Amino acid sequence: MPPAAKALRKEVRAFLNEQMPKSVSSAEKARSWSGGAAAFSKLLGQQGWLGMTWPKKYGGHERSYAERYVVIEELLVAGAPVGLHWVADRQSGPLMLRFGTEEQREFFLPRIARGEAYFCIGMSEPNSGSDLASVRTRAHKVEGGWRINGQKIWTSNAHSAHYMIALVRTGEAETRHAGLTQFIVDMKSEGLTVKPIANLTGESHFNEVFFDDVFVPDNRLVGREGDGWRQVGAELAFERSGPERYLSSIRLFLEFLRVAGPNPTELEKQLIGRMTAEMWTLRQMSMSILGKLAAGEDPAVDAAIVKDIGTSFEQELPRLVQANAREDVTLETGDAFDDTLSYLLQTSPSFSLRGGTREILRGIIARDLGLR
Ligand SMILES: Cc1cc2nc3c(=O)[nH]c(=O)nc-3n(C[C@H](O)[C@H](O)[C@H](O)COP(=O)(O)OP(=O)(O)OC[C@H]3O[C@@H](n4cnc5c(N)ncnc54)[C@H](O)[C@@H]3O)c2cc1C
């Protein structure tokens, strides 16, 4: 970490100490990038901690990737409510920076950097999840733009996002990878319907999104028509390599430390050592991808490795903690440790699904190693 990033860490900690509402429960903090608060997103924008690496002329702050990493790490560890702007800052903005038109950059990036424009990811469809190239939602060319018909599913935060970057078919179905295009869709468009889907905890973070002749003007096509597959590949490297891919269960680890107290048992010591060592290794792996992203490379395979090992770790953590918890664990509500454990036991199965499943990531890794 360069000295500037170390100094920034202190600044972020002081800010969080002051700005994180004291009444937020541990289980609420465990939601972090699955939750969200508009006022907090704006506050981060004012601090200059959104769009951190982007050029100043687009509202960015020209900070280093390492500095951005530090901010993200501290926000996740504190359990800050960052879900609303998360996708826009992590991948929609960088996508536009790389493939978007000048007009798109000038319009969208400053809004994202101010914490005012939220995006969602319109990739998955019923029957097109792992096999993303089979998407059937289609855009037809019309005067001045395109009309989109079809359906997306599992779209996180579609109900709170202002825009979706949708991957849709513009070419013939037979061409698969070649006939896909990305569009920025205004979520308030006529003909667009969002229907919530409840998950195991009863919350509705993801949704079905229906497109009934939704009009998208020509200037909202991202990159080149038919080039969507290549662009999505680049976007996924941003989506899969960050610290959120191994820190989703960090709140429980902190709760475990709190309950273990200053005199942990031998078993607790072993577990603390093991989890710390794994987390540190993952951090080194995740940070090594930063350099490649900063150099404009597409570290898709490296990112797949981080996500596969990282999500395995953040899924294993609640199970290990449960197995080694002290006897008074009840999983009833009211206790910070129990609530956090209960929440993560219910949500952690999804960690290896969202952003690409374990099996698909291992397929990518195996192909790169020449094994398939
Ligand atoms: C919490 C959460 C949030 C999500 N948010 C979004 C979002 O915002 N936007 C979005 O577009 N999508 C989102 N998704 C969807 C996610 O990307 C898909 O669920 C995922 O890609 C898997 O697709 P699927 O559900 O259609 O399962 P399928 O593709 O049907 O897979 C079912 C099972 O078969 C296995 N499988 C499939 N193909 C192969 C193969 N070739 N080799 C070996 N095994 C295989 C898979 O690994 C999986 O275990 C989200 C999912 C979750 C759980």
Q: Given the CA of residue 128, which atom of ligand 1 is nearest to it?
A: 26
- Residue 53: how many other CB atoms lie within 10 Å: 19
Ligand 1 pocket check for 359: Cβ under 6 Å: yes
Which of 353, 358, 364, 367 has most ligand 1 atoms within 8 Å of its beta carbon, as the pocket-test mutant?
353
Q: How confident is the model at residue 290 (pLDDT cuts 50, 70, 90)?
A: confident
* Lowest-confidence region among 80-94, 113-127, 331-345: 331-345
Mean predicted confidence (pLDDT) in 168-195? 91
Over residues 258-267, the pLDDT tens digits come to 999 999 999 9
Q: Domains in the chain, start-ordered, CATH in brackets?
A: 3-117 (1.10.540.10), 121-226 (2.40.110.10), 242-368 (1.20.140.10)
Of the chain, the percentage scoring pLDDT greater than 70 comes to 99
Ligand 1 pocket check for 354: Cβ under 6 Å: yes
Active site residues: 239
Residue 22 has pLDDT above 90, yes or no: no
The answer to whether 37 and 84 have CB atoms below 8 angstroms apart is yes
Q: Take atom 30 of ligand 1 and give the residue whose Cα is closest.
A: 129
- Residue 199: how many other CB atoms lie within 10 Å: 15
Q: Take atom 12 of ligand 1 and give the residue whose Cα is closest.
A: 124
The answer to whether 59 and 114 have CB atoms below 8 angstroms apart is yes
pLDDT at 173: 65
Residue 283 has pLDDT above 90, yes or no: yes
Residue 174 has pLDDT above 70, yes or no: no
Residue 224 has pLDDT above 90, yes or no: yes
Residue scoring higher pLDDT (220 or 369): 220
Which of 33, 128, 130 has most ligand 1 atoms within 8 Å of its beta carbon, as the pocket-test mutant?
130
Residue scoring higher pLDDT (243 or 325): 243
Provide the whole-model pTM: 0.95
Ligand 1 pocket check for 204: Cβ under 6 Å: no
Q: Take atom 2 of ligand 1 and give the residue whose Cα is closest.
A: 354
